[in-house]
Amino acid sequence: MENQELSYPTAAPAYVPPAVPEQPEDPFGGEQPGVVARTRKRIGSVLAAIVALVAKFFAAIKGVILLLPKLKLITAAGTALVSIAAYSLFFGWTFAIGFVILLFVHEMGHVLQLRKEGIEASHPKFIPFLGAFITSRGFGGNALAEARVGLAGPVLGTIGAGVCLLIAVLTNSDFFRALAYIGFFLNLFNLLPIVPLDGGRAMAAMAPWMWFIGFGVLVALDFLYPNVVLLIITLFAGLELYRRWEARKSGSVDQAAYYRVAPRHRLLVGIVYIGLIVLLALGMSETHILSSGGHSFTHL
């Protein structure tokens, strides 16, 4: 029997069906049946709707991006209003507004110096009974820059309290005198030599070992004037002190470079730091008010 090679047939089949009318090559070209036309119309409508939806989505995203700076400003203003409401429960509305303005002036000192250092900073945000804060990507490339940023707050804050004192003297107003007193006290407290307070940032450029003394002072204040606010500040200060000191103990090249400050710059930071303490202490003494009963009276 001969070998046969298997192949697929290419010839026409033996049965040829009857001829049918010729159809257009493009099933969607020319005049189409009603069903096909309606299908095309529906597909076109769906595609148009999807394109419109995507366009609206990206328009909304663009609007949100453009609105973000305003939203941040609105958030900051909202925290200020909440703080004013909280402080007014104890000090009255007028004094609460003045106190929050003094906090704002202090924080703006940090913001302006950060921008001078080339670092973007957030708007000040307020926390009732804890003060205010800003956020940024660091405080500069070294301890000297951190000290400049830290001291800028008390510098501008002292000026703000000084303006209140000037108004008090010109108008003989106990209200502005009391406002000046609380402003001087606020900035003096922030000069305690412990991170994350402003004085601790100055010590980063002067003498980091002073952080331990500042922490000891905070602990002593907790026993002398026990309150939740001081306890919270002490807790955060302890955690930051531990983190900083552990980083310094690592002996890394980056850490050594960060805390390397020229003697003349160390001296300048020390002069500004001590000068602020003297001015603020004198300001508190000048604006200290006693009530008729001999008790301290620092708010109206």
Task: Give the C-alpha distances (Å, rounded to integers) separating 143 from 12, 46, 106, 127, 270.
Answer: 92, 61, 20, 27, 13
Structural domains counted in the chain? 1
How confident is the model over 168-189, as a mean pLDDT?
96
> Within a domain: residue 248?
yes
Banded pLDDT at 55 (limits 50, 70, 90):
low
Q: Which of 164, 158, 156 has its CA nearest to residue 134? A: 156
Most confident of 5-14, 125-134, 216-225, 286-295: 216-225
Calculate ∠ Cα 268-270-271, nearest 5°: 65
- How high is the pLDDT of residue 260? 93
Banded pLDDT at 67 (limits 50, 70, 90):
very low
> Within a domain: residue 249?
yes
> Within a domain: residue 4?
no
Q: Is the pLDDT of residue 170 over 60?
A: yes
Choice between 236 and 36, residue whose per-residue pLDDT is larger? 236
Q: Residue 155: give the domain boundaries.
A: 37-287
Banded pLDDT at 11 (limits 50, 70, 90):
very low
Q: Which amino acid is at 168?
A: A
Per DSSP, the residues of 71-124 read HHHHHHHHHHHHHHHHHHHHH-HHHHHHHHHHHHHHHHHHHHHHHHTT--BPPP
Question: Mean pLDDT over all residues of the chain?
Answer: 81
Joined tokens for residue 225: 């004037």
> Within a domain: residue 236?
yes
Calculate ∠ Cα 241-247-252, nearest 5°: 155
Residue with tokens 């090559």: 25
> Within a domain: residue 8?
no
